[in-house]
Amino acid sequence: MKKYLSVALAALTLSGCLSRLQPPDTVESITLPDTKEQPQQPAREVVPQPPKIQPFDWFRSLQPLVNQMLEAKGVTAGSLLLVDSMKNNTNGALQTAKATSALHTALESNSTFSVVPEARLTSARQALGLSSEDSFGSRSKAIGLARIVNAQYVLYSDFSGDVKSPTLDMQLMLVQTGEIVWSGNDTVEL
């Protein structure tokens, strides 16, 4: 009998535990947040702005230096002059093609030099395997090209310093010896 009582007591104890584990009759309602998926917009790629190029008055900036060069002592009048493409050694972007064109314009009406025509210069560049946009990059290359076109002088020019107010350096060199017969520099005006 003790056995039956122990089994009955164990059954009552277990049944009481189960009633405690059963959930209550009332169930709380749980509200879930609205999880509608919104279509994702593609990420916009930010395109960087191109560098702003200063609008310089190239002709007005070059004319004083050209006038100084034309008055240089020791220059033989009537000589053929090769105008090298201008170099940009500043800390930004400059329109060197426009500056080179303005330099050609400033030299058009002079009586000291005959400037190598662009067509002749282009054909000489092609003979050397250089593109028309390729700048010579060095004085020795410019002198080598001047020898091909039979020029007596080379005008080598470059911009340096800050792009907002660059300094223009010009050197007139004798092709035969590489001697610098005139040099000048000036700040480019806006």
Digit-coded pLDDT (tens) for 88-138: 999 988 888 899 999 999 998 888 999 999 889 888 888 877 766 665 567
Find all residues with CB under 8 Å of 133, minimum gap 6, and list them.
97
Higher pLDDT, 137 or 189: 189
Please check the confidence at residue 190 and state whether its pLDDT lies above 90.
Answer: no
Give residue-wise pLDDT tens across range 57-78. 888 889 999 999 999 988 888 9
Under the phi-then-psi rule, with left for phi > 0, alpha for psi from -120 to 50, and beta for the rest, what region is 113?
Answer: beta
Please check the confidence at residue 35 and state whether its pLDDT lies above 70.
Answer: no
What whole-number distance in Å separates Cα of residue 9 and Cα of residue 2? 10
Higher pLDDT, 37 or 122: 122
Q: What is the pLDDT of residue 22?
A: 55
Higher pLDDT, 50 or 104: 104
Please check the confidence at residue 51 and state whether its pLDDT lies above 80.
Answer: no
Please check the confidence at residue 24 and state whether its pLDDT lies above 70.
Answer: no
Q: What is the pLDDT of residue 132?
A: 61
Q: What is the pLDDT of residue 129?
A: 77
Q: What is the pLDDT of residue 180?
A: 93
Q: What is the pLDDT of residue 124?
A: 84
- 3-state DSSP assignment of residue 165: coil
Give residue-wise pLDDT tens across range 80-89. 999 988 899 9
User: Do strands 153-161 and 79-83 pair parallel, antiparallel, or not at all (unpaired)?
Assistant: parallel
**What value does the mean pLDDT take over residues 160-169?**
92
What whole-number distance in Å separates Cα of residue 146 and Cα of residue 140? 10
Write down the residue that tokens 């609008």 correspond to. 55
Q: What is the pLDDT of residue 106?
A: 92
Average per-residue pLDDT for the chain:
81
- Is residue 114 within 8 A of residue 80, CB to CB? The reply is yes
Q: What is the pLDDT of residue 12?
A: 65
Domain 58-187 -> CATH class: alpha beta
Write down the residue that tokens 């470059």 correspond to. 158
